């Protein structure tokens, strides 16, 4: 995963998994540093079953227990479904990192596609936060 100009191995991060009748429904990883918690990855192959919300609740609880002042995440400008999802859960836009994906594609991860499946060019990182 690329976030804020760095390449991360999310397999090395703590996280949570939500299981359902069909197996895992959602999982997420995070990292805590300097009183902040970054939600690194959230994946839910079965949409609208509550798994993503449950993972966020668990990560927020872990962040509070660690004394964090905020939970934050980065997504790309094309990810309109994620933007809506996080905002419905109380996250607010905190920053726009113009051309961050373009730079990451050139220096860190050339396999990032130029255009998303929804036809939107992938260029920028959007930072969202939930103040605790």
Q: In 10 A of CB 65, how many CB atoms?
A: 9
Q: Name the pTM for this structure.
A: 0.88
Alpha-carbon 11 to chain mean position: 14
Q: Which domains, from first to last, does the chain contain?
A: 2-131 (3.40.630.30)
- pLDDT tens by residue, the chain, 132 residues: 666 666 667 778 899 999 887 788 899 999 999 999 999 999 998 778 889 999 999 999 999 999 999 999 999 999 999 999 999 999 999 999 999 999 999 988 899 999 999 999 999 999 999 999
Antiparallel, parallel or unpaired: β 15-20 and 36-43 = unpaired
């Amino acid at each position: 995963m690329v976030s804020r100009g760095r390449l991360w191995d999310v397999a090395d991060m703590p996280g949570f998994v939500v299981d359902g009748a069909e197996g895992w429904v959602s999982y997420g990883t995070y990292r805590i540093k300097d009183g902040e918690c970054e939600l690194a990855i959230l994946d839910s192959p079965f949409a609208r079953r509550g798994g993503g919300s449950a993972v966020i609740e668990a990560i927020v609880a872990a962040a509070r227990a660690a004394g964090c002042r905020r939970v934050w995440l980065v997504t790309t400008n094309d990810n309109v479904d994620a933007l809506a999802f996080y905002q419905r859960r109380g996250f607010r836009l905190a920053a726009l990192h113009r051309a961050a994906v373009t730079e990451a594609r050139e220096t860190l991860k050339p396999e990032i596609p130029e255009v998303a499946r929804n036809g939107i060019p992938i260029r920028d990182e959007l930072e969202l936060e939930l103040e605790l």
